[in-house]
Amino acid sequence: MTDILYEHPLNERVRNYLKLEQLFVQARSCLANEFVSSHTLFFNAIFAILDTLDRTDVRGDVIKDLEKLEQNLILWSKAPQVNSKALQLNLEQSKNLTTKLRSKQPAWSRLKDDKFLDSMRKRFTLQGAYCGFDLPALAFWLNQPPIFIQQDIDKWLGSLANIEQALVLILKFIRQRAEFTEVLAKNSFYQDSGEGLILLRMKLNEGADYFPSVSGNRYRYSIRFMELCEEKGQQYVSNTVSFKIAKC
């Protein structure tokens, strides 16, 4: 049976990483469908990415994590039976991304000077304020030949490629820190120390009619399993719950 994966960050840094990862997935998923019908999701994702990068020091955090990853990869290279080729590829990618992200002006800063994006970004902050009569320039752009639209999309996503690739690399190694183990939550409640942890990953069977609600931080966390309820919206599950967890 297929499992449903839930993830919960235990610090603000990883919270920002997961948020940006989801926004990049959202933006790129629009490209696989009819873009004209999903363009609002695309631009909402792009603007949310830029807002997150503007409001937080994600670049500084990413550079620090890449530097730590480089150090670890060098140490791992000395271990027996290590996949040297894969390790070297990851090491080269990490060094390359670190160099690019250290530049005085990150590549995505060019998007602030894009007049077309800037005119839309202000309107997209207002819910539903991006209809054809609000943004005739957008309506015009959407009716351009597909090759011209794709060129602009590639340019915008290309400016964000370094931070996107760095997040993919960092999150890959964070998620590989721990294997899944099966545990029981009596009365649908589970708690443990969060010391040294930055991410919780939980798997439940696809057919389960409940979901995890996590609270806590790097010192201690708790998981309560909830089910949807028509009267209250959601409520606690009372029985013992079996689930898998990876403590990263």
- Chain centroid offset of residue 54 CA: 16
pLDDT at 1: 62
Full-model pTM: 0.93
Task: State the CATH number of the domain containing residue 142.
Answer: 1.10.3900.10
**Do both 198 and 164 map to the same domain?**
no
**Do both 29 and 120 map to the same domain?**
yes
Summarize the chain as % helix, strand, coil (round to 5): 55, 20, 25
How many structural domains does the chain have? 2
**Do both 202 and 126 map to the same domain?**
no
The CA angle 91-93-95, to the nearest 5 degrees, is 70
Question: Between these two residues, 221 and 125, which has the higher pLDDT value?
Answer: 221
Share of residues in the chain with pLDDT > 70 (%)? 99
Task: Label residue 246 by pLDDT band (50, 70, 90).
Answer: very high
Task: State the CATH number of the domain containing residue 195.
Answer: 2.60.440.10
- The answer to whether residue 4 sits within a structural domain is no
pLDDT at 2: 85
Domain closes at, from 175, 196, 212: 175
Length of the chain: 248
Share of residues in the chain with pLDDT > 90 (%)? 67
191 and 213 Cβ atoms separated by less than 8 Å: no
Highest mean pLDDT among 29-43, 71-85, 91-105: 91-105
Measured CA to CA, the distance from residue 193 to residue 216 in angstroms comes to 9
- The answer to whether residue 230 sits within a structural domain is yes
Structure tokens at 139: 């309506």
In 3D space, the residue among 240, 188, 44 whose CA is nearest the CA of residue 130 turns out to be 44
Domain closes at, from 118, 149, 175: 175
CA-to-CA separations, 178 to 44, 92, 233, in angstroms, rounded: 34, 24, 33
**Do both 65 and 139 map to the same domain?**
yes
Domain closes at, from 175, 197, 217: 175
Measured CA to CA, the distance from residue 23 to residue 42 in angstroms comes to 9
**Do both 66 and 36 map to the same domain?**
yes
Task: Label residue 161 by pLDDT band (50, 70, 90).
Answer: very high
- The answer to whether residue 6 sits within a structural domain is no
Task: Please enumerate in sequence order all residues whose Cβ is within 8 A of that of 119, keeping only pairs 6 or more positions apart, or say none.
Answer: 135, 137
Task: Label residue 220 by pLDDT band (50, 70, 90).
Answer: very high
**Do both 194 and 91 map to the same domain?**
no
Range of the domain at 101: 12-175
The CA angle 157-110-30, to the nearest 5 degrees, is 20
pLDDT digits (tens, 9 = 90+) for 81-113: 777 788 889 999 999 999 999 988 888 988 988
CA-to-CA separations, 187 to 29, 65, 126, 246, in angstroms, rounded: 39, 38, 44, 21
